[in-house]
Amino acid sequence: MTYKKLLANGLAITVAVGLFTFVPTNAKAADLNELQKQQQAIQQQRSNIDSHIDEKDHEVSVLERKQQTTAAELESLVKSITETNKKLQKQQQEVSVTNAEVSKLKNEIAVLQKSIEDRLNLLKDRARAIQINGNGQEYMNVILASDSFSDFIDRATLVSTLVNADKDIMTDQREDEDALNSKQKQTETKLANLKKLSNEIALSKNNLESQKSQKDELILAIAAEKDLTQQQKNDLLAQQGQLAANEQTIAGNIQAEKNRQAQLQLEAARKASAERAAREATAKAAAAQARSKAVTRTETAAAAPQEEPETISIPSISAGSQTGMFIKPAAGILTSGFSDRTNPVTGQHESHKGQDIAAGGSVPIYAAAGGTVVFSGFGAPGSGYGGYGYVVEIDHGNGYQTLYGHMRAGSLQVVAGQSVSQGQGIGMMGSTGQSTGQHLHFEIHKNGVPVDPSPYI
């Protein structure tokens, strides 16, 4: 049985596994998104490795079954080898017996050969004697030389015995020669059978050794392949463990980032709530002061005639075709959007938290949506509205507020606590506070955090 060589190339699976440590810095959604992408990538890698592990389990199972089959075949072969060894032993015994028989036969042949040679010499001697004396005259002279009849009888008997003895010698000679020829043939047959038996023994031995060598090679190859496959599986399991640890680390970092962002939102909401409370308190104080001044003006009006202040009439507008929650609060062009920029007054880099809408002349400003006025007045330093000049803030509910800054002095049409409707006039565009020209600074807050107004209007 032949078996292919062990796999030349093992499975090469490269898994990019990298532990990283996340240190929270700024509250950026990109940080959380990146962590989630890394988590998804690791989960995909783990899924791929699980598939490879399943493949290796299947390969190990196939190799184990092959080992069992080969072991059974080897066991059967060992039994065959044992039986063949017994046959070989029996054949070797027969060889030994045959060798002994051959040795004995050689001795018998040697004895027979000596007997034949002796008889042959005797016959040669008798033949020479007969040749010298001529056609049996010697035997006749022996008979005629008898002294009496009984002596004649004895001599005749002796001559007859001698003649018969010669005949027996000839017969024995022929029989021994036939026996010699037979034994020689037996020896040749025994030797031929012995050579054939030796060849059969050598062939059986070679076949057994070849089969055993192939089985040994097969068993070693299967064991090596199984070890390689198991090692590849162990490598995959190690990579899977490393990925699991990485995924756990990333999951912890994701949760930490979520907690951090939730804490930032909570702190922002608390800060916005505190600022709103401060603005409301300031608005109440300003309203009280305004009422006090109004009372004073009323009390002194009779004694000191004054000029009537200019009355500004700002008609309300409808939302028109706009379908959003908010409407554009003033006519004009957008000169600065919701982005980082250099402050035109201070020259400092800052985050611009709203939109600047600029226009010339008397430009009315309208409530972007219905709600309750939180603050209406001048944004003094420390009030939470510093730098906005004359400013109005309106709470619209559901976590939304709008702010209108840099309005013209004396143009405010609403007071804190007043309810307004969408499109209601609240003042005129101006350039009070930190401003380099007439425009409206417009902000939208969601849960106390400024957001880009563009998607809302």
The string of pLDDT tens digits covering residues 341-353 is 766 766 677 788 9
8 pLDDT exceeds 50?
no
Q: Mean per-residue pLDDT for 107-131?
A: 75
Maximum CA pair distance of the chain? Answer: 227
Task: Share the mean pLDDT of the chain.
Answer: 79
389 pLDDT exceeds 50?
yes
What is the rounded distance in angstroms from the CA atom of residue 133 to the CA atom of residue 128?
A: 9
The tokens for 258 are 């979520």
What is the rounded distance in angstroms from the CA atom of residue 289 to the CA atom of residue 117?
A: 170
Contacts 24+ apart (CB under 8 A), 60-64: 60/226, 60/229, 60/230, 60/233, 63/222, 63/225, 63/226, 63/229, 64/226
Q: Mean per-residue pLDDT for 228-238?
A: 92
3-state secondary structure of 384: coil
The tokens for 156 are 């005749």
pLDDT value, residue 281: 78
Return the ∠ at Cα 69 (arms to 65 and 75), rounded to 5°: 140
133 pLDDT exceeds 80?
no
pLDDT value, residue 424: 97
What is the pLDDT confidence band of residue 2, given thresholds at 50, 70 and 90? Answer: very low
What is the pLDDT confidence band of residue 447, given thresholds at 50, 70 and 90? Answer: very high
pLDDT value, residue 241: 94
pLDDT in tens, 72-88: 888 887 888 888 888 87
3-state secondary structure of 436: coil
Q: Mean per-residue pLDDT for 213-230?
A: 89
| Residue of 320, 334, 333 lying closest to 422 (CA atoms) | 320
3-state secondary structure of 369: coil
219 pLDDT exceeds 60?
yes
Q: Mean per-residue pLDDT for 206-231?
A: 88
pLDDT value, residue 363: 97
pLDDT value, residue 357: 97
CB count, 10 Å around CB of 30? 8
Q: Mean per-residue pLDDT for 425-434?
A: 96
pLDDT value, residue 284: 67
268 pLDDT exceeds 80?
yes
9 pLDDT exceeds 50?
no
What is the rounded distance in angstroms from the CA atom of residue 372 to the CA atom of residue 419?
A: 4
What is the pLDDT confidence band of residue 47, given thresholds at 50, 70 and 90? Answer: very high
pLDDT value, residue 313: 61
434 pLDDT exceeds 70?
yes
CA distances from 189 to 177, 196, 344 (A): 18, 10, 128
Q: Higher confidence at residue 427 or residue 91?
A: 427
Provide the β-strand partners of residue 356.
336, 441
pLDDT value, residue 159: 56
What is the pLDDT confidence band of residue 293, given thresholds at 50, 70 and 90? Answer: very low
36 pLDDT exceeds 70?
yes
Q: Mean per-residue pLDDT for 364-381?
A: 96
pLDDT value, residue 106: 79
7 pLDDT exceeds 80?
no
Q: Mean per-residue pLDDT for 377-391?
A: 92
Q: Higher confidence at residue 363 or residue 205?
A: 363
Contacts 24+ apart (CB under 8 A), 120-129: 120/173, 122/169, 123/166, 123/169, 123/170, 123/173, 126/166
6 pLDDT exceeds 50?
no
Provide the β-strand partners of residue 441.
356, 405
pLDDT value, residue 164: 67
Residue with token string 């009849």 = 149
413 pLDDT exceeds 80?
yes
427 pLDDT exceeds 80?
yes
What is the pLDDT confidence band of residue 310, given thresholds at 50, 70 and 90? Answer: very low
